[in-house]
Amino acid sequence: MEVVAAARAQGDDQGDGPVRVGRLGRDRREQSGVVDAGSARLYEALRSSRQGMAVAKVERGICQGCRITLPVSVLQKARSGAVIVQCSSCERILYVS
Ligand SMILES: [Zn+2]
């Protein structure tokens, strides 16, 4: 799953804050296979508490995990791919296709 690659992160674990990643995608060849402990923990925790769904797709500004309309600022962050953005309601990791 492509979004799993997004969980490949760098930087500090800042609790429930956004986790910084370099870029979404597979072009982080120097980091392949290396998963930041904080991000991995986040992903695993979400996966176990969300019936295996740690990520939610965003369609027309709506989180497909819980169907809330997301704030524009959240959408912009998710679109940028610069950080891992979590839904403020269901806490799934958001991705925009
Ligand atoms: Zn949600």
Per-residue confidence (pLDDT) for residue 43, from 0 to 100: 86
Per-residue confidence (pLDDT) for residue 31, from 0 to 100: 43
How far apart are the C-alpha atoms of 53 and 68, rounded to whole Å? Answer: 16
Residue 93 backbone dihedrals phi, psi, to 5 degrees: -75, 125
Residue 7 alpha carbon to ligand 1 centre in Å:
17
Residue 55 alpha carbon to ligand 1 centre in Å:
9
Residue 87 alpha carbon to ligand 1 centre in Å:
5
Give the residue ranges of the chain where pLDDT is below 50. Answer: 1, 5-15, 17, 20-32
Per-residue confidence (pLDDT) for residue 72, from 0 to 100: 94
Does the domain at 2-96 match CATH 1.10.287.1490? Answer given as yes
Per-residue confidence (pLDDT) for residue 40, from 0 to 100: 86
Per-residue confidence (pLDDT) for residue 56, from 0 to 100: 94
